[in-house]
Chains A and B, each alone.
Chain A
Amino acid sequence: AQSVTQLDSQVPVFEEAPVELRCNYSSSVSVYLFWYVQYPNQGLQLLLKYLSGSTLVESINGFEAEFNKSQTSFHLRKPSVHISDTAEYFCAVTRSNDYKLSFGAGTTVTVRA
């Protein structure tokens, strides 16, 4: 079975500062990796995903994540955050032949002016 560890439960950050959310996974088989975002009182939305190919993936709103197989990591970064990035961020993994998602515990990002 696969598992996901998000190392930071809460990350306070000032507006326009960079942010990194750490995610490590463990699995004995090939996996696909995802970052989901949950804004206050809303459902989960896919932020970005790694399936294959380039290890650096980007989202349309400035986030990027890099798949590092040797370190079994998929850290999420944004060089300059906005107030609107305040949300809960979940790292998730699924086996490449399965739909079942295993989620990390989540990281709460609070952006302050």
Chain B
Amino acid sequence: GAVVSQHPSRVICKSGTSVKIECRSLDFQATTMFWYRQFPKQSLMLMATSNEGSKATYEQGVEKDKFLINHASLTLSTLTVTSAHPEDSSFYICSAPPPRAGSSYNEQFFGPGTRLTVL
């Protein structure tokens, strides 16, 4: 099956610094990727839709200047948490739908997630 990777898996940073998280589709091209945020013991909340070659679409309540998304190629999307603060500490997960292929059209493949801790 399709594989989505994320890097790094864990990152600890100081308050005020910026952190970049990469999401890659390893064996397929993804014109669209999704970024989610998951707080401990809670569900995934969709943050934004990353579109290759165009601006990301952010969900209501998500600060686009805080969470910068760049979808530079068909296999890579990056999420940069700018001027991170302790409240940004969370588990960030990306996903990508596979190339359209019959009934799997609506399926998504998830990356393993990146745990961000801001001190």
Contact = CB atoms under 8 A, between A and B. Distances in A.
A96 to B, nearest CB: 7
A103 B38 CA distance: 11
B108 interface: yes
A104 B106 contact: no
Interface size class on chain B is 20 to 34
A99 B93 contact: no
Interface string A28-56: 00001010100000111110010110000
Interface residues of A, number: 24
A49 B43 CA distance: 18
Contact of A99 (B41, B45, B106): B106
Interface of A: 32, 34, 36, 42-46, 49, 51-52, 90, 94, 96, 98-106, 108
Interface of B: 6, 32, 34, 41-46, 49, 93, 95, 97, 103, 106-108, 110-113
7 closest pairs, A vs B, by CB? Answer: A43-B112, A44-B110, A103-B43, A105-B43, A103-B44, A32-B106, A43-B110
